[in-house]
Amino acid sequence: MLGPDKRFMTRSQAEAAQIDVGLRAHMLRVYNYMASGVALTGIVAMLASSSPTLMNAIFGTPLKWVVMLAPLAFVMVISFGINRLSLFASQALFWAFAAVMGLSLSVIFLIYTGESIARVFFITAASFGALSLWGYTTKRDISGWGSFLFIGLVGIIIAGVVNWFMQSSALQFAISVIGVLVFAGLTAYDTQKIKNEYSELHDQETSGKLAVMGALRLYLDFINLMMMLLRLFGTRR
């Protein structure tokens, strides 16, 4: 017969195991959303870049500004409206965002060779996977990285705007190197944050919306990490 302590330990272990199973299912849902979003972006980008008529219609007219700024609008709507949106609406906005990002990124197929894009994609996927796995499994609390990574992100944005006018290759190289470090850090940081946000007490609707938000964060980390690596290692046409 089990004593009180052993019964308590058994019950605690069972509860911990249940939480662990739920957490793994939640993280798998996040990764599935994120991977599907990246795949949709890639398909749209490739299809759009293969149509000169569509590319001229987008990037040869003021419509390019709509395509370039629309992803930011989607991110803001999802991020600030996630609590008011239904699960279906948040999912629809995420897929729409991924598709519009594909249109926005289609121009890279005109700038870089297909071989170098594929090579950088697989480098990014391997790096992202390793960083995200570390962020999920580490016992170290890396929540303190947030403020430093945010400062780095703001610095990259400001430097990018400045370099828009300067067109300095040296500054662009520095931005890309720092960008790789920042988004590598964000990948691990966001993964741990998504893990810590999970709770078995959340209802299905809330858990679903948390998965969409987590996927959006990891998607942005992946895409930006890939773009920084592409600027460093991509072969231009």
Looking at per-residue pLDDT, the higher value among 9 and 71 belongs to: 71
Q: What are phi and psi of 236, to 5 degrees?
A: -75, 150
Average pLDDT (188-192) is: 97
Q: In the predicted model, is pLDDT for residue 11 greater than 60?
A: no
**Rounded mean pLDDT of 110-116?**
93
Query: Rounded mean pLDDT of 92-97?
Result: 96
Three-state secondary structure string covering 133-176: HHHHHCCCCCCCHHHHHHHHHHHHHHHHHHHHHHCCHHHHHHHH
Statement: residue 18 has pLDDT above 80: no
Range of the structural domain that residue 39 is part of: 4-233
Burial of 36 (0-12, 13-18, 19+ CB in 10 A): middle
Give the SS3 label for residue 113: coil
What tokens were used for 79? 């991020």
pLDDT level of residue 9 (50, 70, 90 thresholds): very low
To the nearest whole number, what is the mean pLDDT of the chain? 90
By the 10 Å C-beta count (0-12 exposed, 13-18 middle, 19+ buried), 204 is classed as exposed
Which pLDDT tens digit goes with each residue over 33-91? 999 999 999 999 999 999 999 999 888 888 889 888 899 999 999 999 998 999 999 99
Assign 5 a pLDDT band (cuts: 50, 70, 90).
Answer: low
Cα 86–Cα 26–Cα 89 angle in degrees, nearest 5: 15
**What is the total count of domains within the chain?**
1
**Comparison of pLDDT for 163 and 12, the residue scoring more:** 163
Question: pLDDT tens for residues 199-208?
Answer: 877 888 999 9
